[in-house]
Amino acid sequence: MPHPAPPLPGTATVRTRVRIPLTFPDGYRAEAEVFTFHGLADGAEHLALALGTVPAGGTPLVRLHSECLTGDVFGSDRCDCGPQLRESVERIAEAGGYLVYLRQEGRGIGLYNKLDAYALQDSGLDTYDANTALGLPEDGRDYTAAAQMLTAIGAGTVDLLSNNPDKAAQLAALGITVGRRVPTGVHLSASNIRYLRAKVERTGHSIELSRLVG
């Protein structure tokens, strides 16, 4: 279900900027300028990583990536988060733009709750019904802080690297102009097919599974 329009964000400001060289397990390297912020609506320690150079007169490519410890750090195949993060860094570095890394583990329900939901998925529930069986929202993410961060770094108009229509809708409601939504690749594994199919069927994600599975 789509989220209701969130309130317009207050003002956030850039707190610090620091350069960090990134090296991924496959050897890919990129240079990031990492921004921290004051005044974010939820008080969490979100980050924005500037990658590449936006061409003069161009629109930055932006990815809102929700933290996933199991996928981003440990390489879990139960989701597509780790491969999406790796893909996003390279594509943004090529086009110029920002990776907004949001501390929203488990679509906003937290790490322990996410792992509890995994146990329910093992008994047959899909990723959304497992959340609601725990008395939690299907997707508890609010992108107010993301809109604040983009505004603070001067990215009021973006091309959004995402399969999720809710991200674009929330950003637009929060005053960020989304020029176009650019889908990520399809990162399919034997362990995440049910998860990806649920995202397509339940929340309209633009994942071209039909080309890969019957």
Residue 122 lies in a domain: no
**Model confidence at 30: pLDDT above 60:** yes
> Whole-prediction pTM value?
0.86
Mean pLDDT of 141-154: 96
Residues 6+ apart with CB under 8 A from 85: 65, 68, 71, 72, 99
pLDDT exceeds 90 at position 190: no
> How much is the mean pLDDT over the chain?
87
* Calpha distance 136→146 (Å, rounded): 22
Helix (H) or strand (E) segment spanning residue 34: strand 29-38
Helix axes 144-152, 165-173, angle to 10 degrees: 60
Whether 164 is in a domain gets the answer yes
Both tokens assigned to 48: 């924005």
> Pick the residue with more confidence: 181 or 45?
45
Over 70: is that where the pLDDT of 143 sits? yes
pLDDT at res. 148: 97
Q: Does any domain span residue 67?
A: yes
**Short-list 187, 64, 192, CA closest to 118:** 192
Any idea which residues carry the catalytic annotation?
139, 141
What is the domain-level CATH number for residue 94?
Answer: 3.40.50.10990
* Number of domains the chain is built from: 1
CA gap 91, 111 in Å, rounded: 28
Is the model more confident about 126 or about 86? 86
pLDDT in tens, 87-114: 999 999 999 999 999 999 988 999 999 9
Higher pLDDT, 202 or 72: 72
The residue range of the domain holding 29 is: 13-104+141-211
